[in-house]
Amino acid sequence: MSVNETTMENAGAIPQPQAEEKAKKARPKPIEIDWEPVRQLADDIMVTGYGASLMVYERLSELARQAHEKGRANRQEAGPLAKFFLDMFAPPKKAKKARPSIKVPVLPIADYDNLTVSQVEERLEGLTEEQLKIVRQYEVEHKNRRGVLQAIDQRLAGTQE
């Protein structure tokens, strides 16, 4: 026996190979944890948080709608600064009185202003009574040529017979 072994025996120590084996046996077994309750708790927290956020969103949406309605209803009672900003973003105001639309008849004869009396007379044939009246009115308001007016009047008299 060596000095080390003697000292160990006297001190009640276990030789190294035996100590390693005993240490392996003495290791505690791993603790088995049931993770299901932890998982369930985490799931409950997440679902509750999600549900709460949905409730907040729904309530805020409803509050925003109500605030908008109340603002529209009380717009006239707003102070000067609020009116300034409300007017800035308000749609443009419609004109109080719309201009009457003016119907401009289209002359049934192309390039009328550049035609001679005889050219206008040639083109009167085939026009309806309404078209003849349009040409007559235009002629009176512009050149007022007696030959054109007589030709139109003769055709109008012929359509009324």
CA–CA distance from 49 to each of 41, 52, 54, 86 (Å)? 12, 5, 9, 37
Query: What is the residue whose two structure tokens read 């054109």?
Result: 148
> The tokens of 88 are what?
């800035």
CA distances to 98, 111, 118, 119, 151 from 114, in Å: 36, 6, 12, 9, 18
Alpha-carbon gap, residue 110 to 96, rounded angstroms: 39
Separation of alpha carbons 125 and 145, rounded Å: 18
pLDDT score of 7 more than 70: no
**pTM across the whole model:** 0.37
- The 10 Å Cβ neighbour count of residue 104 is 6
Contact 108, 137 (CB under 8 A): no
Please give the pLDDT value at position 160.
62
Residue ranges of domains in the chain: 36-89, 112-160
pLDDT in tens, 45-73: 998 988 889 898 899 889 888 888 888 77
Residue range 33-53: mean pLDDT, rounded: 90
